[in-house]
Amino acid sequence: MERPLVVLDTNVVVSALRSRRGCVFQAVEATGGGWFDIAISVPVVLEYEAALMERRIAPTTESDVQTVLDYLCSAGHQQQVFFLWRPLLPDPKDDMVLELAVAAQCDAVVTYNVRDFHGAERLGIGVWTPADLLKGVGLLS
């Protein structure tokens, strides 16, 4: 598989900050490492920030959240979204993630909530778990 371009769903970013174990942390940590690329947009980064600030757990600080966001922004390919596909999915926040994936011509959305993205395939977007991503790029067997 050539280097895929993906969008990280908010639940992936939040889960990675909560635990340094498992596929989700490994996937976020591998961002910017040449294994895969991520697409970002201003609305999606603002959603990451809101979710991280709302769900942060001790000892995570506001500074930690900003460090993670800065990291993702520096590693990501910024994409403007000019066309909205809404409503396609049940959750408008998921629509925002899918719209970014379509605009950036991503291979997939990486999420734990695969069933929430049912319909993404109609737009040519795959829906992968963090483990699927890691297996696809050779970081997990």
- The 10s digit of each residue's pLDDT in 55-89 is 877 678 899 999 999 999 999 999 999 876 667 78
The pLDDT assigned to 98 comes to: 95
pLDDT at residue 34 in the model: 96
Structural contact between residues 5 and 37, judged by C-beta atoms closer than 8 angstroms: yes
pLDDT of res. 129: 98
- Report the distance separating Cα 100 and Cα 140, nearest Å: 26
Domain boundaries, the chain: 5-136
* 8, 128 contact by CB (below 8 A): no
Query: What backbone phi and psi angles, to 5 degrees, belong to 120?
Result: -60, -30
Q: Which residues of the chain carry a pLDDT beneath 50?
A: none
Q: Are strands 77-78 and 5-8 parallel, antiparallel or unpaired?
A: unpaired
- In angstroms, the Cα distances linking 20 to 28, 48, 92 are 10, 18, 29
The confidence score (pLDDT) of residue 91 equals: 83
The CATH number corresponding to 5-136 among 1.10.10.10, 1.10.10.60, 3.90.870.10, 3.40.50.1010 equals 3.40.50.1010
Residue 1's pLDDT is 60
